[in-house]
Chains A and B, each alone.
Chain A
Amino acid sequence: EIVMTQSPATLSVSPGERATLSCRASQSIGNSLAWYRQRPGQAPRLLIYSASIRATGIPARFSGGGSGADFTLTISSLQSEDFAVYYCQQYHVWPPWTFGQGTKVEIK
């Protein structure tokens, strides 16, 4: 099973500022990585797949990068709805599809 590790656990950012989240896989996964956002009390929503492709309806302020074992999600200018928990998920080796433990983006 591929283990996904996210950092930091919590990121404090002011509205309008940039946030960069990291995700590391326990082995190389190519670009087989997705990102999700989960707002409080809601289900996760797919943001990014193939490491850098935005899902349908996702605004351009979200960008993904990386390949191999190290990946980033950047939110260029944080909006109120972006204060949430973000999860990465690998799909290079399955089952199981595995998620990171999450990064909480909170208001500074």
Chain B
Amino acid sequence: QLQLQESGPGLVKPSETLSLTCTVSGGSMSSSYYYWGWIRQPPGKGLEWMGSMNYNGSAYYNPSLKSRITASVDTSKNQFSLKLSSVTAADTAVYYCARRVGCCHDYWGQGTLVTVSS
């Protein structure tokens, strides 16, 4: 059974860079059919797709975040990562990592709350 687990700081200061890692276990990341990505959810609000990348570097980003977001994949460690620069309080959210196959996100991490505050 595939499992995903987010890790990273729970508190980030305004204007700094948010960095999260997702560790994948129970399966391989190395298929061109799989995209590994990030979806966030501000407290009490809905879901926002942020970006995704496959193992050979093909990436898609939400245009609303494109200038601030970088995704990467490290298949040797079975991990993928997110960096979001110049954060503000509006970036406070639960961040989920997820696998996308074609249309849809079929496996998700449990989510990690990141608060942006000084």
Across the interface, name the chain B residue whose C-beta is closest to A87: B47
Chain B residues closer than 8 Å to A46, beta-carbon distance:
104-106
Q: Quick one: which of A34, A43, A94, A95 contacts B110, CB cutoff 8 A? A: A43
Asked if B27 is an interface residue, CB under 8 A from chain A, the answer is no
Does A44 contact B46, Cβ atoms closer than 8 Å? no
Asked if A101 is an interface residue, CB under 8 A from chain B, the answer is yes
Q: Quick one: which of B49, B104, B111 contacts A95, CB cutoff 8 A? A: B49
Nearest-Cβ distance from residue B62 to partner chain A, whole angstroms = 4
* Number of residues from B at the complex interface, CB < 8 A: 23
Q: Quick one: which of B45, B61, B111 contacts A43, CB cutoff 8 A? A: B111
Nearest-Cβ distance from residue A104 to partner chain B, whole angstroms = 11
Interface residues of A in 15-74 (CB under 8 A from B): 32, 34, 36, 42-46, 49-50, 55
Chain A residues closer than 8 Å to B100, beta-carbon distance:
97
Does B47 contact A44, Cβ atoms closer than 8 Å? yes
Chain A residues closer than 8 Å to B51, beta-carbon distance:
95
Chain A residues closer than 8 Å to B60, beta-carbon distance:
94-95
C-alpha gap A102/B51 in the complex (Å): 20
Does B49 contact A97, Cβ atoms closer than 8 Å? yes
Does B103 contact A50, Cβ atoms closer than 8 Å? yes
Does A96 contact B49, Cβ atoms closer than 8 Å? yes
Does A101 contact B103, Cβ atoms closer than 8 Å? no
C-alpha gap A36/B103 in the complex (Å): 13
Binary flags per residue of A66-108, CB closer than 8 Å to B gives 1, else 0 = 0000000000000000000001010100111111111000000
Asked if B64 is an interface residue, CB under 8 A from chain A, the answer is yes
Binary flags per residue of B95-109, CB closer than 8 Å to A gives 1, else 0 = 010101011111011
Does B63 contact A1, Cβ atoms closer than 8 Å? yes
Across the interface, name the chain A residue whose C-beta is closest to B4: A43
Chain B residues closer than 8 Å to A50, beta-carbon distance:
103
| 7 A–B pairs (Cβ distance < 8 Å), ordered by A | A1-B63, A55-B104, A55-B106, A95-B60, A95-B62, A95-B63, A96-B62
Q: Which residues of A contact B (CB under 8 A)?
A: 1, 32, 34, 36, 42-46, 49-50, 55, 87, 89, 91, 94-102
